């Protein structure tokens, strides 16, 4: 066992799914022409003032309640001062001393598979900066301020995470929650969900924390895991070589799979935070919090527990099915519609359907097979019209638009042969044709049963009921 | 000395008198505008009260106003000429803030104050000179040069709204907008013998007013009478959805209560405002004014503002802190002055700002940056905020006993240009009586109350939040029994 313990805390930036920006009326839609969505407020023009988009307050409150945190009665916007071309005002409006969400928690599985509580320190509202474009202009830098003023909720965890895997598990949970709440689209390619990781190592048993490095701008679950693992190995190497880890900000380069120093603690900005005098404190009434609480959807962990109880699912399956609200809704509609076993419904969705969607890169909402259609297929398995094996063939047909399960079964004549006399004749023929195997079987080589069944299935084009065939062969050979 | 009357030349009439004259068809907006533009033209060189003139636009608007008047259309300020301090953004007309860094800056939009006065019918003749970014008490920090005081052109008109004050005092225009962060309307009004009104923080929108210190800045007016200030405040006041700190409070008709008597009005006389530092002659003049109000039926009550002595140092922590952040947007990237041939980004910032800002602005940015720095924040910024609350509490306690507080606006009459430029602390102390109202967010007005060695003295009245109506009626009543506001500087009659 390693003598090193890893300590990780995450700062997750999630873009809130408002139509307009946090302090101006500009659209937040992604992908517009540069600076087409930058108003005078976003450009930091002389004389303009920020006005809070109250929708972000409701969204932050939803998140707070979802992670069992306190929604602060009073929170304050502050200015974080630094110069950068994509920061038009020379300061970012953020929350500092008094954030809107304080002290939450959520539960993940640790590396041993046990449930583990991760504390959430706080979540605060802030505006995003713009984007500097360095590669498109010879000798100069372009600035696109479409993103400037986009609302973000920064979610800060306590340093409770002990491995890159745990960090990813935590990040996935947060991702799932914000999407359940529909307060963020969670789109990582577009930067709507990204994180910074504070990583340090210490000797097992040591109480005080090691010196941390902050790894910036991790925008996929894979990169989070790789960057943290790189950083852990780097820090252990430094210490084992007799060096000391310095407090610094590092940037993850996904092409080279390494982290690089951006700036040391000494070079760090003094942000000179102070309350923004242009904005009033955000005062939240209890009645507002209660109203938000009533509006909360069923959360992933609650839904997961209910699926286990209501549909007799394995915990692992229930967790997979409740990762996204759309997937859970899909499952539940199938489970409620089908006359068959809800666990088999889970298997089909987690297995064949997910594989199909992944292969074609389709969201569950756009699945070519609707929940009702899938339930129709499962019903034909349940009533023995087709075997599980034939069902896969029907499923493939459904996925390419050949029709409903019933239509495909009828059109291709895939119905199981359940007529005993017809099967009887086939079984008798197979036994007659394979005297050597019959002799071996009777001498005690019972494994040969499978051989006979296989022959019968081959003969019937898979349309025989395997259970029935089994029984018939046993009868005849006994 | 001669007092003007409604029958006087147009330039000597107040806004209210001009409004009556226009309504009665005695003259047209074009005639009025032309005559004032001529006066401005004649005196601009020696006064330097303007940074930009908009004569052509003004005449076009005057013609439109005359046409509207003929059909009965238009607002309460229809066809009346005013000027704006060059800190208010005006669409299509440059807004310099008295700074090189915005020398060529043209705003694409109108400040709320500008838009409201425009929609009430007022005509803008130009933009007035000011201390750079409103940082100064003498108008000498302007990149466009100092403004001179019409009463004695070797003297400063005060600041930062010095151009507005000088223009109104010299009878170039009947009224001007100004901004007041620590006394920038009231002090120049006092030094030029004009009326300066700083409303309650939040009474008038700050949208489009280039920010100096956001928690202290407030737009107001410089006029020749309290009545005119009431007329303008009617058009300017009110909540603005684009300024979260603007107050959603009822807007009374400020002209309707002007004739309210001062009988029974309790006027608090601040002991600390007559301490050492106040010029003896100025002190006597202010006391004479208070006695006149007492004669008219008001009662004088001594009040204490125990922490008011801390207002200047408190202000010079809070205001620079906010300004250091507010002025960060002037970085040479999107608008304003940008240095030539920059080596890299750091060079772009340093040289654009280094070349664009003047010495006083730099001093305040550095002071502000310092007081917000890690390790100093608690000792300076946080402590100043606490003292600010104490000062505010002192005022509230005083207002349990009195209706308004009265005293001198400034410790002396106008000082010589150049006299204090090398000594910022002495310059800062010129705002010692005005800063308290900004720290506490209260309304204040300065009215002319006498002359000392031929230079004007101002009487300051400060009221509880949103008590502009009582300040204006008290000031108006005072102007009914005195004629100091009718007196024009000799060279500008």
Shared-domain flag, residues A157 and A173: yes
Q: What's the pLDDT score for residue A426?
A: 87
Greatest Cα-to-Cα distance within chain B, rounded to the nearest angstrom:
70
Shared-domain flag, residues A322 and A228: no
Q: Please write down the long-range contacts of B20-23, taking CB distance under 8 Å and 24 or more positions apart.
A: B22/B69, B22/B78, B22/B79, B22/B80, B23/B69
The domain ranges of chain B are 3-264+443-492, 310-385
- Chain A hits for B333, CB-CB cut-off 8 Å, are 85, 88, 143
Shared-domain flag, residues A346 and A231: no
Size of interface A-B (CB pairs under 8 A): 102
Q: What's the pLDDT score for residue B1?
A: 38
pLDDT of residue A248 exceeding 50, the answer is: yes
Shared-domain flag, residues A151 and A25: yes
Shared-domain flag, residues A317 and A262: no
- What are the tokens at A337? 């519609």
Domain count, chain A: 3
The DSSP H or E segment spanning B408 is strand B404-408
Shared-domain flag, residues A356 and A401: yes
- What are the tokens at A72? 């602060």
d(CA A348, nearest CA chain B) in Å: 55
Mind listing the pLDDT tens digit for each residue in B432-473?
Answer: 999 999 999 999 999 999 999 999 999 999 999 999 999 999
Mind listing the pLDDT tens digit for each residue in A89-119?
Answer: 999 999 999 999 999 999 999 989 899 999 9
Instruction: Decide if B485 contacts B479 (C-beta within 8 A).
Output: yes
Q: Residue B209 and residue A277: Cβ atoms within 8 Å?
A: no
ipTM (interface pTM): 0.95
Decide if B480 touches A, using CB distance below 8 A.
Answer: no
CATH code 3.90.1300.10 for B3-264+443-492 = yes
Decide if B210 touches A, using CB distance below 8 A.
Answer: yes
How far separated are the first and last CA of chain B, in Å rounded?
10
From the list A47, A81, A91, the residue facing B107 with the nearest CB is: A47
User: A229, A263, A291 — which closes off a domain?
Assistant: A291
B488/B490 Cα distance (integer angstroms): 6
From the list B215, B244, B325, the residue facing A79 with the nearest CB is: B325
Query: How confident is residue A139, by pLDDT bands cut at 50, 70 and 90?
Result: confident
Shared-domain flag, residues A384 and A433: no
Chain A residue nearest residue B349, CA to CA: A83
How far separated are the first and last CA of chain A, in Å rounded?
56
E-strand spans in A112-204?
A: 115-127, 131-133, 142-144, 151-157, 193-203
The DSSP H or E segment spanning A473 is helix A466-477
Buried b (16+ CB within 10 A) or exposed e, A43-79: bbbbbbbbbbbebbbbbbbbbbbbbebebbeebbbbb
d(CA A133, nearest CA chain B) in Å: 14
Residues of B that are catalytic: 85, 160, 184
- The chain-wide mean pLDDT, for chain A, equals 93
CB atoms within 10 A of CB A265: 10
From the list B89, B331, B369, the residue facing A47 with the nearest CB is: B89
What is chain A's length?
478
Shared-domain flag, residues A59 and A124: yes
Q: What's the pLDDT score for residue B8?
A: 67
B334/A148 Cα distance (integer angstroms): 14
Q: What's the pLDDT score for residue B2?
A: 43
d(CA A23, nearest CA chain B) in Å: 10
- pLDDT of chain B, 493 residues: tens digit per residue: 344 454 569 999 999 999 999 999 999 999 999 999 999 999 999 999 999 999 999 999 999 999 999 888 888 999 999 999 999 999 999 999 999 999 999 999 999 999 999 999 999 999 999 999 999 999 999 999 999 999 999 999 999 999 999 999 999 999 999 999 999 999 999 999 999 999 999 999 999 999 999 999 999 999 999 999 999 999 999 999 999 999 999 999 999 999 999 999 999 999 999 988 899 999 999 999 999 999 999 999 999 999 999 999 999 999 999 999 999 999 999 999 999 999 999 999 999 999 999 999 999 999 999 999 999 999 999 999 999 999 999 999 999 999 999 999 999 999 999 998 888 888 888 899 999 999 999 999 999 999 999 999 999 999 999 999 999 999 999 999 999 999 999 999 8
Instruction: Decide if B138 contacts B427 (C-beta within 8 A).
Output: yes
Q: What's the pLDDT score for residue B108?
A: 97
E-strand spans in A62-219?
A: 70-71, 74-75, 77-81, 91-95, 101-109, 115-127, 131-133, 142-144, 151-157, 193-203, 213-218
From the list A44, A274, A277, the residue facing B329 with the nearest CB is: A44
pLDDT of residue A172 exceeding 70, the answer is: yes
Find the domain containing A361 and state its range: 298-412
Decide if B102 touches A, using CB distance below 8 A.
Answer: yes
Mind listing the pLDDT tens digit for each residue in B221-256?
Answer: 999 999 999 999 999 999 999 999 999 999 999 999
Q: Residue A277 and residue B245: Cβ atoms within 8 Å?
A: yes
Instruction: Decide if B265 contacts B474 (C-beta within 8 A).
Output: yes
Shared-domain flag, residues A20 and A157: yes
Q: Residue A47 and residue B208: Cβ atoms within 8 Å?
A: yes
Q: What's the pLDDT score for residue B491?
A: 93
Q: What's the pLDDT score for residue A97?
A: 95
Shared-domain flag, residues A372 and A455: no
B141/A445 Cα distance (integer angstroms): 107
Mind listing the pLDDT tens digit for each residue in A347-375?
Answer: 999 999 999 999 999 999 999 999 999 99
User: Measured at the alpha carbon of residue B46, what is the angle toward residues B41 and B50, in degrees to the nearest 5?
Assistant: 55
B291/B46 Cα distance (integer angstroms): 37
User: Measured at the alpha carbon of residue A141, what is the angle toward residues A264 and A19, in degrees to the nearest 5?
Assistant: 90
Selected for mutation to probe chain B from A24, A34, A47, A283 (highest B CB count within 10 Å) is: A47
Shared-domain flag, residues A444 and A404: no
Decide if B144 touches A, using CB distance below 8 A.
Answer: no
A478/A449 Cα distance (integer angstroms): 11
Decide if B134 touches A, using CB distance below 8 A.
Answer: no
In chain A, the percentage of residues whose pLDDT exceeds 70 is 100
The DSSP H or E segment spanning B452 is strand B444-452
Chain A residue nearest residue B106, CA to CA: A46
Q: What's the pLDDT score for residue B3?
A: 45
From the list A46, A50, A51, the residue facing B107 with the nearest CB is: A46
B458 burial level (CB within 10 Å; 0-12, 13-18, 19+): buried
Shared-domain flag, residues A91 and A154: yes
Q: Residue A277 and residue B241: Cβ atoms within 8 Å?
A: no
Task: Provide the CATH number for the domain around residue A441.
Answer: 1.10.10.410
């Amino acid at each position: 066992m390693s003598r090193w313990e890893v300590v990780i805390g995450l700062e997750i930036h999630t873009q809130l799914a408002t139509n307009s920006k946090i302090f101006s009326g500009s659209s937040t839609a992604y992908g517009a022409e540069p600076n087409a969505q930058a108003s005078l407020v976003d450009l930091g023009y002389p004389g303009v003032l920020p006005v809070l988009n109250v929708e972000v307050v409701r969204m932050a409150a939803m998140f707070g309640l979802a992670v069992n945190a306190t929604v602060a009665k009073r929170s304050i916007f502050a200015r974080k001062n630094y110069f950068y071309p994509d920061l038009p005002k020379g300061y970012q409006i953020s929350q500092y001393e008094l954030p809107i969400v304080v002290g939450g928690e959520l539960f993940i599985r640790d590396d041993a598979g046990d449930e583990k509580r991760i504390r959430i320190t706080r979540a605060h509202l802030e505006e995003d900066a713009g984007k500097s474009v360095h590669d498109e202009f010879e000798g100069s830098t372009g600035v696109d301020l479409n993103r400037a003023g986009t609302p973000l909720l920064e979610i800060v965890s306590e340093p409770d995470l002990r491995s890159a895997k745990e960090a990813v598990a935590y990040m996935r949970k947060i991702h799932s929650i914000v999407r359940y709440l529909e307060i963020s689209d969670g789109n990582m390619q577009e930067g709507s969900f990204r994180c910074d990781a504070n990583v340090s190592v210490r000797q097992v048993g040591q109480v005080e924390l090691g010196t941390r490095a902050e790894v910036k701008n991790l925008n996929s679950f894979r990169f989070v895991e790789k960057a943290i693992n790189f950083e852990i190995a780097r820090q252990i190497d430094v210490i084992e070589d007799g060096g000391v880890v310095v407090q610094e900000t590092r940037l993850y380069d996904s092409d080279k799979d390494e982290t690089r120093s951006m700036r040391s603690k000494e070079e760090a900005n003094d942000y000179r935070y102070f309350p923004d005098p242009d904005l009033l404190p955000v005062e939240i009434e209890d009645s507002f919090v209660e109203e938000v609480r009533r509006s909360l959807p069923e959360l992933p962990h609650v839904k997961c527990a209910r699926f286990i109880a209501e549909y007799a699912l394995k915990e692992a399956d229930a967790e997979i099915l409740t990762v996204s609200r759309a997937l859970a809704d899909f499952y539940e509609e199938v489970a409620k519609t089908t006359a068959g076993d809800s666990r088999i419904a889970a298997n089909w969705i987690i297995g064949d359907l997910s594989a199909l969607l992944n292969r074609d890169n389709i969201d569950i909402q756009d699945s070519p097979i609707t929940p009702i259609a899938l339930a129709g297929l499962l019903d034909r398995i349940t009533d023995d019209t087709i075997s599980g094996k034939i069902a896969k063939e029907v499923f493939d047909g459904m996925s390419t638009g050949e029709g409903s399960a019933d239509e495909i079964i009828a059109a291709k004549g895939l119905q199981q042969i359940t007529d005993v006399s017809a099967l009887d004749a086939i079984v008798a023929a197979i036994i007659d044709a394979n005297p050597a195997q019959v002799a071996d079987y009777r001498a005690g080589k019972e494994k040969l049963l499978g051989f006979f069944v296989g022959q019968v299935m081959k003969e019937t084009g898979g349309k025989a009921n395997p259970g029935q065939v089994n029984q018939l062969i046993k009868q005849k050979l006994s | 000395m001669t007092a003007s009357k409604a029958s006087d030349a147009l330039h000597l009439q107040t806004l209210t008198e001009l409004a009556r004259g226009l309504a009665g068809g005695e003259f047209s907006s074009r005639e009025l505008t032309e005559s004032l533009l001529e006066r401005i033209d004649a005196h601009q060189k020696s006064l330097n009260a303007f940074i930009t003139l908009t004569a052509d636009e003004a005449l076009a608007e005057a013609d439109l106003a005359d046409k509207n008047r003929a059909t009965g259309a238009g607002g309460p300020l229809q066809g009346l000429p005013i000027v704006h301090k060059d800190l208010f953004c005006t669409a299509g007309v440059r807004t310099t803030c008295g700074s090189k860094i915005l020398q060529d800056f043209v705003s694409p939009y109108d400040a709320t104050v500008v838009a409201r006065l425009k929609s009430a019918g007022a005509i803008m003749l130009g933009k007035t000179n000011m201390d750079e970014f409103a940082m100064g008490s003498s108008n000498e920090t302007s990149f466009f040069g100092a403004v001179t005081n019409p009463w004695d052109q070797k003297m400063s008109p005060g600041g930062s709204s010095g151009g507005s004050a000088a223009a109104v005092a010299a009878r170039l225009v009947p009224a001007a907008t100004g901004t007041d962060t620590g006394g920038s309307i009231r002090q120049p009004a006092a030094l030029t013998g004009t009326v300066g009104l700083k409303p309650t923080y939040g009474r008038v929108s700050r949208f489009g007013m280039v920010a100096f210190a956001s928690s202290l800045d407030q737009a107001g007016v410089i006029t020749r009478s309290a009545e005119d200030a009431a007329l303008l405040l009617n058009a300017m006041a009110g909540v603005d959805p684009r300024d979260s700190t603007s107050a959603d409070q009822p807007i009374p008709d400020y002209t309707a209560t002007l004739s309210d008597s001062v009988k029974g009005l309790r006027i608090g006389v601040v002991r600390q405002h007559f301490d050492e530092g106040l010029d003896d002659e100025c002190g006597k003049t202010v006391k004479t004014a208070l006695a006149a109000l007492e004669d008219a039926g008001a009662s004088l009550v001594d009040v204490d503002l125990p922490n008011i002595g801390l207002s200047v140092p408190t202000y010079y922590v809070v205001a620079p802190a906010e300004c250091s952040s507010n002025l960060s947007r002037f970085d040479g990237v999107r608008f304003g002055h940008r240095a030539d041939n920059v080596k890299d980004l750091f060079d772009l910032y340093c040289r654009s700002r280094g070349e664009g800002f003047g010495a006083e602005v730099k001093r305040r940015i550095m002071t502000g940056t310092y007081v917000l720095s890690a390790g100093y924040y608690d000792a300076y910024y946080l402590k100043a905020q606490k003292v600010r609350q104490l000062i505010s509490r002192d005022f509230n306690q005083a207002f349990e006993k009195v209706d308004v507080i009265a005293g001198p606006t400034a410790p002396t009459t106008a000082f010589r240009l150049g006299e204090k430029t090398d000594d910022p602390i002495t310059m800062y102390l010129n705002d010692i009586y005005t800063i308290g109202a900004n720290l506490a967010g209260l309304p204040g007005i300065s009215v002319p109350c006498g002359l000392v060695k031929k230079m004007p003295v101002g009487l300051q009245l400060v009221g509880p939040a949103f008590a502009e109506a009582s300040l204006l009626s008290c000031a108006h009543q005072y102007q009914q029994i005195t004629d100091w506001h009718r007196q024009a500087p000799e060279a500008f009659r």
